Amino acid sequence: MNSHTIYTVLDLVGTFAFAISGAVAARQRRLDLFGIASVAFMVACGGGIVRDVCIGAIPPAGLSNWRYLATSLSASGIAILAYPQVRRLRQPVLFFDAIGLGLFAVSGAQKSLVYGHNAELAILLGIVSAVGGGVMRDVVLSRVPAILEREIYASAALLGAVVQVAFSYANWTAWWTPWFATFACVLVRLASLYFGWRLPVFQRRRATVVRDNQ
């Protein structure tokens, strides 16, 4: 299996995972069939479309390649028909979202490198590929996007993209390198959910008002 095939598989598996998370989230909000399919496609392909526009891959694969739409619709159908089984997973949206996060961070970074862009842009667009669809989902469903909260979300995508870019610059192009980078991202994301890891926040100091009674 050559490298192009590996990253295409990563992209499609990530599309499926993200579509599942979007479809389940839409189903939980009691959207109709069209709404579920629309949100699933938005989550699955939104970040990749933004990435492709930025790197000049026009038209974006999410719009021009039928496999992405078919994968998204298949995931939507599974989420609808097997919804009781999917719900048995603990927080299924977060679980599938974590898988899609890792897969898209790696494939997004690698595709940017293939199109001749530097490491910095590859890492940034890897993050955009990973978090873009989730942001769109949360906005449409009237939820606070995960990247704006204290959760380790974009940071996990950053790790996956950095590892993948580092492997590419070191000329480590073995079949296992993208899977290792993906695993690192997914592991950090799931571990943060399990152990409750959060990014630090800066709290405003309470002003003490001193009244002079003299």
Checking if the pLDDT of 209 tops 60, the result is: no
- The reported pLDDT for the residue numbered 5 is 74
CA distance 112 to 118: 8
> From residue 125, how far is each of 5, 130, 165, 204, 214 by CA, in Å?
20, 8, 11, 33, 62
Domain ranges of the chain: 3-195
**H or E element: which one contains 8?**
helix 3-28
Q: How far is CA 130 from the centre of its chain?
A: 3
pLDDT class of 208 with cuts at 50, 70, 90:
very low
Contact 55, 131 (CB under 8 A): no
151 pLDDT more than 90: no
| Least confident range of 50-59, 61-70, 128-137, 169-178 | 169-178
Of residues 130 and 205, more confidence is placed in: 130
